[in-house]
Amino acid sequence: MRLPLTDSGDSSSIDMERSRAMLDTFMQRGFTYFDTAYPYHNGRSEVAFRQIVTERYRRSQFTLTDKMPCWLIHSEADLQRIFDEQLQRCGVSYFDYYWLHALNKSYYATMQRYGGFEFISRMKAEGKIRHIGFSFHDEPALLEQILCEHPEAEFVQLQINYLDWDDDTVQAGKCYEICRRHGKEIIVMEPVKGSTLASVPAAVRALFGNIRPKASPASWAIRYAASLPGVIMVLSGMSTEEQVLDNTSYMQEFEPLNDAEMAAVGSAAAIIKQSVAIPCTSCHYCTDGCPAGIAIPEYFALYNAWYQQRFTHKWLDAPQHYRQLTGQFAPASECLQCGQCEEHCPQHIPIIDNLRKVVQTLEQD
């Protein structure tokens, strides 16, 4: 997810040359863990991984994670078919970590119906998976239910960042505590919440700068997640060489946040919550099946930039930028209100209502 592109309007146009260079830097600095999934980069992520990693490094040199796309399962046969395709795409004979992707109430029901947990347990017994678990996007009560009904899960991947810890929708803190109580290892996704915690208001930059003048805002977010007991891995989608260098620089010799830094992060969260209108992480799960072809994350990012002007004092002609985007994608006003985007949104954002805000604010003559 979020590899560099040759065409910003086409998520499948992975810049292979830059990705190879970034990968080599990552490996040279001692890091080995890679996360991919069936739908990432419009289905190109797994193939790119094979070309960039599998074909250039020994299997013992890297750790690979992949996921079963629960929303594409309509029969037991689909589980085996997609799993075999993933092994072929990635060019490997086994996955180090494999899980059921983005479980919520609907997808959990699908996995219960078609035996998703039984399938990945069988693949583990056959040596095609080393560790099994699931990623989660729903309420704490459902997480408790899943862990009680499926103790075979070895780990859970949760969205954890300092902005979502007490959020009423994500409820990251409550989900974390449930995993800890069940003794499950935790892998963290969205530690920087898309780019929200990398591009923070000036007041937050000043707050962080007074304590660690040279540390990037992203480093604060990732170190926060990595400081939590029970967390074994923190994932960060990296799109540039600079991001690779930054992330690896402070994680080579990791230092957990101290008490003063934890207090600063709490203050930062309060400031940022005032400046973020739509909590979109740009994961693009919403756009894959959009019948109108609306660039939902891009429009939300532009709306947030417009909204944040009062906090950042960085002024931009948001309607002009919006018109440029609508030269490539359908405008927000063409939303059919079919709801498929909201069904797939891990953040549970009321996308249709927020697209109306985009229309009202940015679709100006």
Cβ atoms of residues 239 and 257 within 8 Å? no
d(CA 195, CA 206): 18
Strands (E) across the chain are located at: 33-35, 63-69, 95-103, 129-136, 155-159, 185-189, 231-234
Mark 309-323 as b/e (b = at least 16 C-beta within 10 Å): eebbeeeeebeebbe
From 27-41, 88-102, 322-336, the region with the lowest mean pLDDT? 322-336
Identity of the amino acid at 232: I
d(CA 203, CA 17): 37
- Tell me the backbone φ, ψ of residue 291, rounded to 5 degrees: -70, -20
d(CA 222, CA 236): 8
Q: pLDDT tens-digit profile of 255-286?
A: 999 999 999 999 999 999 887 788 888 888 89
Q: pLDDT tens-digit profile of 2-20?
A: 899 999 878 899 999 999 9
Residue 192 has pLDDT above 90, yes or no: yes
Looking at every residue in the chain, the average pLDDT score rounds to 93
Residue with tokens 């000043």: 206
Q: pLDDT tens-digit profile of 170-188?
A: 999 999 999 999 999 999 9
d(CA 305, CA 345): 21
Q: The domain at 16-275 falls in which architecture?
A: Alpha-Beta Barrel (3.20)
Q: What percent of the chain has pLDDT over 70?
A: 98
Average pLDDT value for residue range 75-97: 98
From 88-97, 103-112, 301-310, the region with the lowest mean pLDDT? 301-310
Return all residues near 212 (Cβ < 8 A) that are at least 6 apart. 219, 220, 261
Question: What angle separates helix 105-114 from helix 140-149, to the nearest 10 degrees?
Answer: 20
pLDDT at 352: 94
- Tell me the backbone φ, ψ of residue 58, rounded to 5 degrees: -70, 150
Q: What is the chain's Cα-based Rg?
A: 20
What residue spans define the domains of the chain?
16-275, 296-362
pLDDT band at 310 (very low <50, low <70, confident <90, very high): low
